[in-house]
Amino acid sequence: MKINRRTFIGTAAAASATLSAPAVLGAAHGRPKVVVVGGGAGGATVAHYLGKDSGGAIDVTLIEPTRRYYTCFFSNLYLGGFREFESLGHSYGTLASDFGVNVVHDWVTGVDREARTVSLASGGSMAYDKLVLSPGIDFIEGAVEGWSTASQNKMPHAYKAGSQSQLLKAQIEAMPEGGTYAMVAPPNPFRCPPGPYERISMVAHRLKQINPTAKILILDPKEKFSKMALFQEAWGDHYDGMIEWVGPDFGGGNVSVNPDTMEVSVDGEIEKVDVCNVIPAMKAGHICEQAGLTEGNWAPVEPTAMTSRLDPNVHVLGDSSQQGDMPKSGFSANSQAKVVANNIRGQLTGSQIFPARYSNTCWSLVGTNDGIKVGASYEAGEDKITKIDGFISQTGESDEVRKQTYEESEGWYDGISADMFG
């Protein structure tokens, strides 16, 4: 068995993170090349598994702009004061040093699918035999009237973790006594379905400590949302009277904002708020569209190995993909990545390709030691990924069960981090 392969090939380790690597790669080696775009739950996991399992037989490059990656999952816990910001940060050093992954910190600006190359913002290009796109999400401009990415410093989305998370936290903590935090929630489909509502719970938790008369307003275009009964129960239990949810029947779907005046219009009624967290409608990461791999807002893939329906040499996974029943989540992307890695390795080296199996679990923290979860297992169906089985936490569960669920979620964070970054 291969488990002890930590010492193989030193090549890419030393050269990692330098931009000279692409030029070298073009000619010499006979090794098949995989380029992975995006170092999140999907991309980092693919690179990790390809490096770990191919024993150096595949030349693996991971292209990710940031040197330190902050996970979007658990960033709500940072907002709530349950985690330090730095605990969300991870680097790619182990993928490079122990798994032979060539880590390149750059932006991919284009994909030439004919020539099978990607071009980089710093100049130059890189050849691939198989391309994996896992760029996460981008926002649809104009989705919330009055908001654009140019206004994200006044009205943060904090739906890509990092400085946006820090900004939102600072704004929440600077709210005047009795002030109002408003969230403009996104329409389906979007990254992390319980995410906005976990965030509401965490913001409420923080405000209850520092600003107990503050108000929270959720403007939601959806009739219902993930784990709705569980969240509503928790809001009643922990933050009674603090949170108002405005669904589409009461104008939640007819919202515009003015970042300069910090005003929100709900069905024409103007409200002044102190923090406005705008989470706009989402689409596949921009590079998918640029590569011509999207139909509508997302990149369609077939269910057995997340292969693009428009190009058999490209796999799209995670949030950007349109695959069927799986929610857009870090857990899903991580699960899909292992199927993709096994498949690519089989195609390039002849190793055995096993049938796809996918799963997902989303934990949410709703209060101190109060965790809830929802999850399901999936398989490759006829023409989409299909749900087999699932579970969800129940309302009225004991404190002990909820505490265990929370502790389990902390364990999962450590587990998926190790599975992504080695």
Partner 1 sequence: MTGKKRQTGKSIRSVFLASAVLMFGAPALGAGDIERGEALYGKCIGCHQVGEGAVNRIGPQLNGIFDRPAGTVEGYRYSNGMKRASADGLVWTREKLDAFIEDPRILVSRTRMSFRGMKDEQDRTDLLAYLQQYSDNPSDIPEATPRVVGADHDLDPAVLAIVGDPAYGEYLSGECAGCHQDSGANDGIPAITNWPVEDFVIALHAYKSGIREHPVMEMMAKRLTDDEIAALAAYYKDLE
Of 44 and 264, CB closest to partner 1: 44
d(CA 252, CA 235): 19
Q: How far is the CB of 256 from partner 1 (least distance, A)?
A: 40
At a CB cut-off of 8 Å and minimum separation 6, what does 349 contact? 32, 54, 57, 58
List 49, 69, 92, 181, residue binding partner 1 (CB under 8 A): 49
Question: Minimal distance in Å, beta carbon 391 to partner 1?
Answer: 4
Tokens encoding 13: 């380790």
Instruction: Give whichever of 312 and 391 is closer to partner 1, judged by the CB atom.
Output: 391
Q: Using the Cα atoms of residue 219, residue 223, residue 226 and residue 227 in order, give the sign of their dihedral.
A: positive
C-alpha–C-alpha distance, residues 79 and 206, integer Å: 8
Structure tokens at 347: 């195609």
Closest distance of CB 339 from partner 1, Å: 8
The correct pick among 69, 214, 419, 421 for binding partner 1 (CB under 8 A) is 419
CB closer to partner 1, 168 vs 339? 339
CA distance linking residue 304 with residue 347, whole number of Å: 13
* Contact stretch for partner 1 (CB under 8 A) within 97-105, 106-114, 151-159, 401-409: 401-409
CB 108 within 8 A of CB 67: no
352 touches partner 1 by CB under 8 A: yes
Please report whether residue 223 would count as binding partner 1 according to CB under 8 A.
Answer: no
Q: Is 236 in the site for partner 1 (CB under 8 A)?
A: no
Give the number of residues in contact with partner 1, rule: CB under 8 A: 37
Closest CB to partner 1 among residues 270, 388: 388
Measure Cα distances from 90 to 98, 319, 345 in Å: 15, 20, 26
Query: x/- site string to partner 1, residues 302 to 341, per CB under 8 A?
Result: -----------------------------x--xx--xx--
Determine the Cα–Cα distance for residues 130 and 107; give it in Å rounded to an integer: 18
The answer to the question of residue 70 lying near partner 1 (CB under 8 A) is: no
Least CB distance to partner 1 at residue 298 (A): 23
Location of structure tokens 């030439």: 112
DSSP states along 101-134: -EEE---EEEEETTTTEEEETTS-EEE-SEEEE-
CB of 416 to partner 1, least distance (A): 5
Q: How far is the CB of 376 from partner 1 (least distance, A)?
A: 7
Contact status: 409 vs partner 1 (CB under 8 A):
yes
Q: How many helices (DSSP H) and strands (DSSP E) are in the chain?
A: 11, 25
Q: Which of 361, 362, 402, 421 binds partner 1 (CB under 8 A)?
A: 361
Which residues, 262 to 281, sit near partner 1 by CB under 8 A?
none
Judged by beta carbon, residue 78 or residue 245, the one nearer partner 1 is 78
In the complex with partner 1, the residue whose CB is nearer, 173 or 397, is: 397
| 416 is a contact residue toward partner 1 (CB under 8 A) | yes
Contact at 8 Å (CB) between 207 and 172?
A: yes
DSSP 11-26: HHHHHTT-TTHHHHHT
Beta-sheet strands, E only, within 107-261: 108-112, 117-120, 125-127, 130-133, 137-139, 180-184, 215-219, 243-246, 255-258
Selected binder of partner 1 within 3, 27, 28, 150 (CB under 8 A): 3
What character string, x for contact with partner 1 (CB under 8 A) and - otherwise, covers 369-398?
----x-xxx----------xxxx-x-----
- Of 115, 174, 357, 395, the residue at the interface with partner 1 (CB under 8 A) is 357
Comparing CA positions, the residue from 136, 156, 193, 162 lying closest to residue 318 is: 136
**Whole-angstrom distance, CA of residue 118 vs CA of residue 299:** 18
For partner 1, the binding residues (CB under 8 A) are 1-4, 49, 53, 331, 334-335, 338-339, 342, 352, 354, 357, 359, 361, 373, 375-377, 388-391, 393, 407-412, 414-416, 418-419
